[in-house]
Every structure is written in C-alpha cells, then in structure tokens.
Amino acid sequence: MRSLAYSALALALLTTACSNAPIGRAVADRLSSPAWMTERPVPAKDLVLTAFEKMHTPGAPATIYIEGEGLGVGNIRTMLVGDGRRLGNPTPINPVAMHLATRDTAENVAYLAQPCQYTNISKEDDSVTSVLQDKAQIACEIDYRGDNAYSQNVIDAYSAALDNIKARYGVTSFNLVGYEGGGAIAALLAAQRRDILTLRTVAGILDTTAFAAYHDVPALRGSINPVDRAAQLKNLPQIHYIAGQDDVIPPAIANSYLQALGDSTCADYMLIQGAGHDEGWVDKWPDLLQTRPSCGPPALPVHAAPEPAPAHPYAAPERPEKP
C-alpha cells in the first residue's frame, strides 16, 4: 500500500512540478530584483530554506516574511485531504508574502519560503539530476508538508534559519510577518524564541483544528496548533489582518485564536473589507505597516514611521465577541 501511495504521489508531483516551479521561479525573480532582494539558500537543520534578503543595517532588528502554502485559493484544501500530503510542487505562483516583503522599505527585510518551495527547479526534465530532484521533492513533501506542515521539526528548522540570519548579518531581533500557513509558523516561532519583537499575520491559519473543521477534513495530526501556544504568546505585541472576503480562512479562525489568548492587551486584529484570501493586500500593505500593536515597541522599529494618524479606514478596532 505504501508503494502504491508513494507512486501516486510521485506521479502527481512529476506532472505538476514542471508547470508550477518554473513559473514560480520567474515570478520570484521579477518581484525580488526591483526590491534589491538577493536569493540565498539558508541552512535550517535538515532543510535548506530559500530566502530573499535585503539587509543593510547590522545591529538592528529585521522583519521576516514567511510564505504561505503556495496552493492558491482553489487548492488549499488538498493540504488536509486523504493522508494529508500535498500533491504537486508547492512553489507559489502568487507568493503573497514576497509581494508584501517587496513593499516594505525597512532596512533589514528577509523573505523565507516554506519547505520544498523553489527546491525542484529543473530545466532538463529527462536528466538524471532531475530524477534525483524529483525524488528529493517527494521526500520533502512527505516529511515537511501536509500533516507535518507545522510540526516541531519544521518550527525548529525555521528557528535555525533565524539564527543563521542573525549571525550572518548581526541582526539583534525580529519582527515576524506570516501569510496563510506562514502565520502559523510565525506564531509558533514567536512562542519559543525570546528575540521576537512583534508578530503579524495576514489571512493566517491561527487555529489548525478550527481550520480543518471549517473545511470538513481531518486535522493535521503531526502539527502543532498555535492555539495551544496561546499562553506563551499572550504578552507578545501582535496584529492579525483578516480578509473580509476570505472564504478559505474565514474570520472565525482568527477569532478562535484571539479567544484562546484570553484578556491579552497586546493582541489586535484588523478586518480588511477590500481583501480576499490572496488578493487585495499588496496595495494596502504600506499603510497597514504603519499600524502598531496596543502594547510594546513599534511594530517595525527600523521602518521610518510617520506621526500617529487618525483611525485607519480599514481598521475594525473592536475585539470579536465570543460566540
């Protein structure tokens, strides 16, 4: 049975990788180049995560953007169906987190892809090298995606990547921004590290159990639920941006997480009515970056922030009521 499942997974990966990966690479190059963000493979325990970096000021914080699942609105449910394994190369064609990172004018900015993204970029599909890459891609999908997307191994890999960035550039601390599943990773990272200044999520999967229930699919058995780390996150300055037109990760997912935080005075949310799950964020992002959490230091201390402005037109200042 395992060999049949493995063969089916391999076939799906081989038939989709050729389309997703080169397109995703072209999109990444087109976005990162004008923003002066340089690609670098970052050692991360047993993984190598693809990063695009713009680091100019040693001894200052850095803002780290963590990408989402790379599946798009119509396919995100495949991360939870069947045995929980994704089918197809997860390199995003619409890398929302990278879009946001390129709009951030802070001195120190880095983008981190999810595991297995940008790793199977082969121009000669019939070569021996390509076959080996395909096998490595399949192994990566099984170990670090699907059920294991937010496992302790994945979080430790990202933590190792942050340590690498910190040592390489003399960074002192981090502001984390996570999109979609990158929001779950960012929250879990913040819960176990002591050098995180702020946490922001955009359409974040902040309660994996509620997310699975909403889509009527099995929960992620090998992953950690950010809700279960609420005690460690309660006093961290954080803002969660929720799309008003999101039918993939509806507001109830963030509401569940916010309620788990209890009476925290550091957690805010903003309901962005003009945004959908993966659209409507980019043009608004420079303005959204100017908002600050209710407690703690400014969200982006390196970023040149204007004087306090009137209430933002996209803001929904009230905390969601308990059901």
Angle between helix 128-144 and helix 152-169 axes, rounded to 10 deg: 110
Give me the phi and psi of 219, to 5 degrees please.
-70, 165
Judge contact between 70 and 86, C-beta under 8 A.
Answer: no
pLDDT at residue 71 tops 50: yes
- Torsion sign, CA atoms 227, 156, 184, 238: positive
Q: Tell me what pLDDT residue 123 has.
A: 39
Of the CA atoms within 13 Å of residue 314, those in its CB half-sphere come to 23
Confidence of residue 69 (pLDDT cuts 50, 70, 90): confident
Nearest to 273 by CA among 238, 293, 231, 245: 245
Q: Tell me what pLDDT residue 200 has.
A: 98
pLDDT at residue 120 tops 90: no
* Residue 3 parent element (H or E): helix 2-32
Q: Tell me what pLDDT residue 160 has.
A: 97
Dihedral through CA 123, CA 128, CA 129, CA 133, nearest 10? 90
Tell me what the mean pLDDT of segment 50-74 comes to.
88
Domain boundaries, the chain: 2-288
Q: Which amino acid is at 104?
A: D
* pLDDT tens, position by position, 85-99: 444 678 888 999 999
Cβ partners under 8 Å of residue 157, min gap 6: 44, 45, 46, 47, 49, 115, 144
* pLDDT tens, position by position, 143-187: 888 888 999 999 999 999 999 999 999 999 999 999 999 999 999
Confidence of residue 80 (pLDDT cuts 50, 70, 90): low
pLDDT at residue 315 tops 50: no
Token match 């790379």: residue? Answer: 70
Give me the phi and psi of 280, to 5 degrees please.
90, 5
Find the angle CA(223)-CA(229)-CA(235) to the nearest 5 degrees: 150
Confidence of residue 6 (pLDDT cuts 50, 70, 90): very low
Secondary structure (DSSP) of 68-96: --SS-TTTGGGGTSTTS---S----SS-H
Cβ partners under 8 Å of residue 61, min gap 6: 108, 171, 172, 173, 174, 175, 197, 300, 301, 302
User: According to the per-residue pLDDT averaged within each range, which of 84-88, 111-115, 305-309 is highest?
Assistant: 111-115
* pLDDT tens, position by position, 237-295: 999 999 999 989 999 999 999 999 998 899 999 999 989 999 999 999 999 999 988 88
* pLDDT tens, position by position, 205-241: 999 999 989 988 888 889 999 999 999 999 999 999 9
- Residue 309: DSSP 8-state: P
pLDDT at residue 121 tops 60: no
| The architecture CATH gives domain 2-288 | 3-Layer(aba) Sandwich (3.40)
